[in-house]
Structure 1
Amino acid sequence: MAYPRPATVLELLKPITWFPPMWAFGCGVVSSGVSAEGRWPFVVAGVLLAGPLVCATSQAVNDWFDREVDAINEPHRPIPSGRMPGRWGLYIAIAWTLLSLFAAASLGTFVLGAAVLGLALAWAYSAPPFRLKRNGWWGNTAVAACYEGLPWLTGAAVMAAANPDARVFALAGLYSLGAHGIMTLNDFKSVEGDRRIGIASLPASLGVDRAAKLACAVMAVPQVAVVGLLLAWGLPLYAGIIALSLAVQLVLMARLLKRPRELAPWYNGTGVTLYVLGMLASAIALGHATPDPEFAAALANLVTP
């Protein structure tokens, strides 16, 4: 039996993609307001869960179920190139799923539940019968949740050793919603290929210009809501930081909309950087805030039948 080389396995797991969920996990840690003293082993375990385990699993699953398409568009990848022999791509995806669940179980019930949901979305995104990636609305929602919202909540849960504060849910949800727009920008590079193979990404189905306007709105509106919440929570300094960051992003968006396909990579390096820095600023704000029982009760009433 042929075995893949360790370097090929690492390439399949795509370490470059691990940063967003690891960053979101860090935001969750900070937003909890709990000192990391004495909890560093849990923090390190959580970072490994968010990036090298759950995110890496999603990359292996995606490459296995995209192997026929990649053989046409990206034949240099590990599976279509033959460097990942036989069904090893599938075996690694399954093994990493089980390893992720084992690691999550050691961090508590809430973390395990978040990991189960994240892994289920990762498989549903790429694998039949769901294959959410064929629809830009559902696919981008799944990825945004896995990359931003769930890791943020997991980080807060690891620190608090309990369910996160209701305000953590609010910020994680808003930034996860905004990440839907970031995912749309990432689809600009493959519009023609998506149309040929029947993947209805938003740029492919709406057109590049309309998808770019939608992406900008989806990234901006949640940040406006974050500013409003921070003001309501008595954190005007941090609200001002987010507002200033958003103002700069709007200027950058105006340039992006002139040539969205050409400038999407540029915006990812500028506007998206400001977006994720704003995530950290809002997490720091929440970490410094005192609990708000009235807000927690109001949010609980929204989700209680």
Structure 2
Amino acid sequence: MQAFWEILRPFNCLMASAAAIIGLLIAGIWDAGTALIITGAVFLITGAGNAINDYYDRQIDAINRPDRPIPSKRIRPKTAFCYSIALFAAGCILASLAGQISLVIAVFNSLLLLFYARDLKAAPLLGNLSVSYLTASTFLFGGAAAGLMGLLANQIPFGLSLLVSMSREIAKDIEDMEGDRLGGARTLPILAGERAAAALAGLFGLAGVLLSLLPRFGRAYLLMVAVADLLILFAVFKVIRGDASGSQKEMKKGMAVALLAFLAAALLP
């Protein structure tokens, strides 16, 4: 049973669920029952995405991550595939309880996670965009419980998360250039060059900073998002200077503080 829990990457699932709950709060819904439905649906679908990703990456993981459940033979590949499909189905059924829009987002994200793991991961930029959308869409999923107005209320969190995630995804590709080139991958830095990719990563980061200043979420939000913006700007500086690894770390910190800023916006409007 431990392997079935491990393949979900529960910490990542909980972080995605937390972003969805913040989206729910920003939309103005404080119902505990709805929050439990949103948390469960996001946890299940995120876990399913991680499991299906491990299924398609099992040959690579046999070399790079032999301790993972499939290459370590604690879970059979076919079992992992069926497990992920069952989780996708359960997550979508749970999402339907939160409303029609929530169900549409859940089904779309489930299909995207499947196609990403199977086909899109190797596609330059499109793979990065898929991951960034999936990361950012947790805010939309949470807000969708309030209908169209809930989606509109989460435009800024969604946009900021999308832009900053794109910056971080490109920085990750820059960091992995040598291994990707040896493995025959066709990532953006390999196709366009490291400097061009770093410049694009910087532009996405700067766009995220500018977007974060648009909403009027209150003083607490502004104070916290200012800290997040400084971290993101530092990450942009690092990626431009050729430190992709350091940029990723700072970007991750910036995203974490931005998440707290949006929580403050929801709790202290």
TM-score by length of 2: 0.86
1:250 partnered with 2:233: yes
The correspondence for 1:141, drawn from 129, 135, 138, is 129
Higher Cα Rg: structure 1 or 2? 1
Q: What displacement does 1:45 show?
A: 2.1
In 2, Cα distance between the equivalents of 1:235 and 1:12? Answer: 40
Match of 2:154, SS? Answer: helix
Match of 2:186, SS? Answer: coil
Q: Confirm or deny: 8 A CA contact 1:235 1:285 kept in the other structure.
A: yes
Q: Confirm or deny: 8 A CA contact 1:133 1:139 kept in the other structure.
A: yes
The correspondence for 2:176, drawn from 169, 190, 205, is 190
The correspondence for 1:122, drawn from 96, 101, 113, is 113
CA 1:112–1:189: 2 relative to 1, 3 Å: same
In 1, Cα distance between the equivalents of 2:5 and 2:170? Answer: 26
Q: Confirm or deny: 8 A CA contact 1:133 1:199 kept in the other structure.
A: no
Q: What displacement does 1:95 show?
A: 1.1
1:29 partnered with 2:24: yes
The equivalent of 2:79 in structure 1 is 88
The equivalent of 2:70 in structure 1 is 79
Q: What displacement does 1:239 show?
A: 4.1
The AA in structure 2 aligned to 1:25 is A
More displaced, 135-144 or 16-25? Answer: 16-25
Q: What displacement does 1:240 show?
A: 5.5
More displaced, 133-142 or 79-88? Answer: 79-88
1:66-125 CA deviation, whole Å, 9 max, x = no partner?
112222332332212222125111111111111111111122111101101111110110
Residue segments in structure 2 that go unaligned for 5+ positions in a row:
none
In 2, Cα distance between the equivalents of 1:14 and 1:169? Answer: 27
The AA in structure 1 aligned to 2:229 is L
CA 1:188–1:47: 2 relative to 1, 3 Å: farther
Q: What displacement does 1:55 show?
A: 0.8
CA 1:226–1:156: 2 relative to 1, 3 Å: same
More displaced, 279-288 or 193-202? Answer: 279-288
Q: Confirm or deny: 8 A CA contact 2:54 2:70 kept in the other structure.
A: yes
Count of residue pairs brought into register by the alignment: 269
The equivalent of 2:142 in structure 1 is 155
The correspondence for 2:265, drawn from 285, 288, 296, is 285
Residue segments in structure 1 that go unaligned for 5+ positions in a row:
1-5, 290-305
CA 1:251–1:219: 2 relative to 1, 3 Å: closer
1:49 partnered with 2:37: no
1:11 partnered with 2:6: yes
1:132-188 CA deviation, whole Å, 9 max, x = no partner?
11123111111111122x210121223x26652524234413422321112223345
The AA in structure 1 aligned to 2:4 is V
More displaced, 270-279 or 62-71? Answer: 270-279
Q: Confirm or deny: 8 A CA contact 1:28 1:152 kept in the other structure.
A: yes
Match of 1:18, SS? Answer: helix
RMSD: 2.7
The correspondence for 2:101, drawn from 77, 95, 110, is 110
In 2, Cα distance between the equivalents of 1:200 and 1:163? Answer: 40
The equivalent of 1:218 in structure 2 is 204
TM-score by length of 1: 0.77
Q: What displacement does 1:54 show?
A: 1.0
1:251-289 CA deviation, whole Å, 9 max, x = no partner?
35424544524424xx42x44222332244245436766
In 1, Cα distance between the equivalents of 2:120 and 2:217? Answer: 40
Q: What displacement does 1:197 show?
A: 3.1
CA 1:15–1:203: 2 relative to 1, 3 Å: farther
CA 1:47–1:132: 2 relative to 1, 3 Å: same
The AA in structure 2 aligned to 1:50 is V
More displaced, 97-106 or 111-120? Answer: 97-106
